[in-house]
Amino acid sequence: MYVHREYVNHCVPMAVLGCRPVHRFRKSGKVKVYKWNPDTLTLGLFRSPNFNQADEPDVGNGVSLTFNPDALGSRYPDSREDLVTEIRCVKPRGQIYHHKWLFVTPMYMGFNVEDSVRRSRQWMSRPGIEYSKIGYKKYWEAEVVPKLTYDESAACDNCGSMIYTWRNSSGETQCDNCGHSETT
């Protein structure tokens, strides 16, 4: 699961968050996104400088730590080597995050959470998206973002909305507000 740092205390066990190796990476203050896998006991800590600003923020530099289940269960692990079985640097590869509203709660103040939910609904309704490629910014910007521009010159015949209409590749006008589509 992915979680913004503001909520990481609710999602990741204290034994993991509070240990020295994790603290070392957290104290820089640059970690924004945590990726926690309770099955593999792996914690990823990632930068994402444009997390609040971008609809689909960049995955930045990161580090991934894997914990030893036995040491994590004991109150005072003997050493770092005992607690953390692997530390790996993760270099950015032009990837982005989607559905960033899932990383926070509806109370989050850093961006408009409702807008972010609407954004997810918007692009997921678009045809012809190759979901295996959307993690890469290059594909996303070339193939998906152009489908997310509303056509302000076209009003929806059904609900009258001027702001949620868009034109698909077959020239139909579609409305994100009511779902109506028509050939113009």
Q: Site residues (CB under 5 A) for Zn ion?
A: 156, 158-159, 161, 175, 177-178, 180
Helix, strand and coil percent figures for the chain, each rounded to 5: 30, 25, 45
In angstroms, give the least distance from the CB of 101 to Zn ion.
24
Please identify, using beta-carbon distances, which residue of 58 and 157 lies nearer to Zn ion.
157
In angstroms, give the least distance from the CB of 166 to Zn ion.
11
Question: Measured on CA atoms in the order 148, 153, 157, 159, is the torsion positive or negative?
Answer: positive
Please identify, using beta-carbon distances, which residue of 68 and 177 lies nearer to Zn ion.
177
Q: Which amino acid, 148?
A: L
Alpha helices in 14-67 (DSSP H): 14-17, 20-26
Please identify, using beta-carbon distances, which residue of 103 and 166 lies nearer to Zn ion.
166
**Residue from 17, 6, 1 nearest 105 by CA:** 6
Beta pairing, strands 172-175 & 31-37? unpaired
In angstroms, give the least distance from the CB of 124 to Zn ion.
18
Please identify, using beta-carbon distances, which residue of 37 and 158 lies nearer to Zn ion.
158
In angstroms, give the least distance from the CB of 85 to Zn ion.
54
